[in-house]
Amino acid sequence: MRARRTTALATIMATGVAMVGIAPIGVASADPLSYAVVPGDYLYGIAGRAGVSIDALLKANGLQLDSVIIPGQKLAIPAGGKVPAPVPTTPPKPASAAAAPAPAAPAGSVSTYVVQTNDFLLTIAVRFGVSLDALMKSNNLTIDSIIVPGQKLAIPGGGVLQTVTGNARIDLAISVGKAQIGKPYRFGFEGPDAFDCSGLIRYAFAKAGVDMLHYTLLQKAAFPAVAISDLRPGDVVFFHPDFSHEGLYLGNNLVLQAPAAKMPVQITWMPSGSITAAIRPIS
């Protein structure tokens, strides 16, 4: 009798050990896809490159739309998605059929620019497509030098006024916006040292003579709406159903924005379907 009990117990134990090695039905044996956040990433961009909805990405990681992500953080990619391609380190310049690039000045030649109210050395450098160092060297200036309206600056050889749309005011707003790239995000700030999303838009368009209030919904209500299918460089695009975030459209699905805390002003890809509304401050 004891021998029979010992045999039965051994059978049960062996069966139990075998069952431990069997994965429960419905549980995948392969590891789920994951993605490591890199500098310049933001949630909408990751979702677009992964081919999943922003809601699915947020749910898979227990995040909210305003959650902060940091480089090195691992995100789970929802079922049906793919590991996102790397963020382009240098987005291509927006193309424009409206205006052909201006011819470059002969090597070694210089042109002159008269400083305007609220000009900055970096803004001027960006507008003429030259480096800040070259501009300062051509005028014996340093990063701390003060420039005043009416002052004449020599533009280094090869520097020409950059155009995107052929509309001088739109081009100026875009140039001013681009000159802020790399500056930090600060909620409620509108420059010149830090920006939130609507503060960046207000700042850029103020240089082009357009007065805006500092709030996304107020800006959206103040200017003509534009169909998302009819976007052109210089339009302001809004994200999220409540229009709580915005950026400056540059063409070719690129947008200039102050994304969120710990993320500087930058040019990013605009995922398909992420835009909820748009306006045109300058016709």
Q: Which among 82, 3, 67, 80 is positioned nearest to 35, based on CA atoms?
A: 82
- Region of 72 please: left (phi>0), alpha (psi -120 to 50) or beta: left
Q: What is the pLDDT along the chain (283 residues), one digit of tens a residue?
A: 444 544 443 443 333 333 333 333 333 334 578 998 876 666 766 877 788 877 788 889 988 755 667 778 889 999 888 888 765 443 334 333 333 333 333 333 448 888 877 677 876 776 677 777 888 999 999 877 888 888 999 988 767 766 667 788 998 899 889 888 888 999 999 988 899 999 999 999 998 899 999 999 999 999 999 999 999 999 999 999 999 999 999 887 889 999 888 888 988 887 768 899 999 999 8
pLDDT of residue 50: 83
pLDDT of residue 26: 33
pLDDT of residue 37: 82
Q: Which domains does the chain have, with CATH numbers?
A: 32-86 (3.10.350.10), 111-155 (3.10.350.10), 180-279 (3.90.1720.10)
Cα–Cα–Cα angle for 90, 96, 97, rounded to 5 degrees: 150
The b-or-e profile of 263-281 (16+ CB within 10 A means b, else e) is bbbbbbbbbeebbbbbbbb
